[in-house]
């Protein structure tokens, strides 16, 4: 590995953060390391902790526009330690890759955030606008006391963002090939279809809820909920769990339970999807209970200053024409989009996230830092 990579400050900071055991919702001291560096370059750091979750809001400047870097210091559990080729909390370089839990998701991005801003501020101390960091230790867990707590506090005092970059690992094959400019919503349902329990030899004295529910389930599975749009694929409905019966082979069950989920685009609304499900169940004459949980609303950032700057910065730094994508699961971008009109996610290759031997290409980290810095230069120019 070239000496300039081994001595790179972004790689060094990523190693320092990986060495902190920050399994969700623990921060492990990561934010203290970051806050210390940010304070050196003029950031005011504020902790907005809630219910044992560590949250940091750091801001430099008071003018608009405000560009925020958002991410999380917590990581998922390691899984079986004996399957790792090196200690997941001892950052290890092998064959050009940096190994460790959080290397890709997302301590590498956090390190790139910090060094990008350090370099930018050193070169342009009188830059226009403001820069902020929103960091949490509650992204990989319940996500109830992390980014959402900070955005609630910011909204209460009227503090809004103009642009936000979330450091989620978005690349598929090479750094810069994919920018997430939105995410689908998540709507879950817990459905209980009721019948009448009885002896399986006397079906006329019972009502089998599985048989009753089957036609409705088939219709739900075949329904076209929407056609998607330019940025989103069509909305999907999937059963994740189904359970009915007592375990005996001679008993008709009294009820059947289903768990299902919509991943929905901006072409649909939670209220519209709920109404259509109830209509199908009612038309099939089912006696049922249905409880809904809205896990996330969809968000979308169309072409504009942030997307255009991100695509240009990636092209200039890597030569890649990045693809805009809204695929994948939910992210904390869903909370930030409530107070920020333009949100994108840009980070390293995601092939090993949450896996044994999670890793990131070491040389990608300084390039990621350079991409972030180029975006800063485009959105927050120096005062004339």
Strand ranges for 100-180 from DSSP E:
130-136, 163-166, 178-180
d(CA 292, CA 40) in angstroms, rounded, equals: 47
Sign of CA dihedral 303, 309, 313, 315: positive
Return d(Cα 53, Cα 61) in angstroms, integer: 26
Closest C-alpha among 2, 95, 107, 23 to residue 86: 95
- Alpha-carbon distance of 127 to 121, in angstroms, equals 8
Residue of 8, 139, 332, 361 marked catalytic: 139
- Single out the catalytic residue among 8, 27, 49, 74: 74
Question: Both ends of the chain: CA-CA distance in Å?
Answer: 41
Do residues 379 and 120 touch, judged by C-beta distance below 8 A? Answer: no
Is 142 annotated in the active site? no
Active site annotation includes 3: no
Distances (CA, A) of 206 to 193, 194, 295, 308, 348: 14, 11, 37, 63, 57
* Integer Cα distance of 378 and 72 in angstroms: 25
Spatial separation of the C-alpha atoms in residues 314 and 116, rounded to whole Å? 14
The whole-angstrom separation of Cα 192 and Cα 255 is 7
Provide DSSP, 102-151: TIIIIIHHHHHHHHHHHHHHHH-TTBSSEEEEEEES-SSS--SSSHHHHH
Contact assessment for residue 186 and residue 235, using Cβ atoms and an 8 Å cutoff: no
Query: By C-alpha distance, which of 6, 3, 5, 12 is closest to 112?
Result: 12
* Catalytic (active-site) positions: 74, 139
């Amino acid at each position: 590995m070239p000496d300039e990579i081994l001595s790179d400050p972004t790689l060094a900071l990523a190693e320092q953060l990986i060495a902190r055991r920050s399994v969700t919702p623990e921060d492990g001291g990561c934010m203290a390391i970051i806050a210390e560096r940010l304070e050196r370059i003029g950031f005011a750091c504020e902790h907005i902790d809630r219910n044992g979750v560590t949250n940091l809001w750091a801001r430099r400047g008071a003018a608009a526009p405000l560009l925020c870097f958002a991410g999380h210091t917590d990581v998922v559990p390691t899984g079986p330690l004996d399957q790792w080729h090196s200690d997941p909390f001892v950052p290890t370089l092998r064959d050009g890759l940096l190994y460790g839990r959080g290397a890709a998701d997302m301590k590498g991005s956090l390190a790139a955030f910090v060094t990008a801003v350090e370099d930018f501020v050193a070169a342009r101390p009188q830059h226009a606008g403001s820069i902020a960091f929103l960091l949490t230790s509650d992204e990989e867990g319940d996500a109830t006391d992390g980014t959402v707590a900070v955005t609630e506090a910011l909204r209460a005092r009227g503090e809004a963002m103009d642009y936000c970059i979330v450091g989620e690992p978005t690349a598929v094959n090479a750094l810069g090939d994919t920018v997430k400019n939105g995410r689908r919503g998540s709507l879950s349902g817990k459905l209980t279809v009721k019948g009448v329990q009885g002896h399986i030899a006397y079906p006329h004295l019972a009502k089998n809820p599985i048989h009753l529910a089957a036609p409705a389930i088939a219709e739900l599975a075949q329904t076209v909920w929407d056609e998607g749009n330019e940025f989103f694929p069509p909305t999907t409905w999937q059963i994740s769990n189904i359970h009915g019966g007592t375990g005996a082979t001679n008993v008709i069950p009294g009820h059947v339970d289903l768990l299902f989920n919509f991943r929905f685009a901006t072409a649909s609304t939670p209220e519209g999807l709920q109404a259509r499900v109830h209509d199908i169940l009612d038309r099939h004459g089912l006696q049922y209970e249905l409880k809904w949980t809205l896990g996330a609303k969809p968000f979308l950032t169309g072409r504009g200053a942030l997307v255009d700057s991100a695509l240009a910065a990636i092209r200039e730094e890597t030569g890649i024409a990045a693809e805009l994508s809204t695929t994948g699961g939910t992210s904390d971008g869903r909370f930030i989009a409530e107070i920020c009109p333009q949100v994108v996610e840009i980070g390293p290759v995601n092939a090993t996230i949450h896996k044994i031997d999670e890793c990131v290409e070491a040389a990608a980290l300084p390039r990621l830092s350079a991409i972030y810095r180029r975006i800063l230069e485009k959105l927050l120019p120096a005062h004339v």
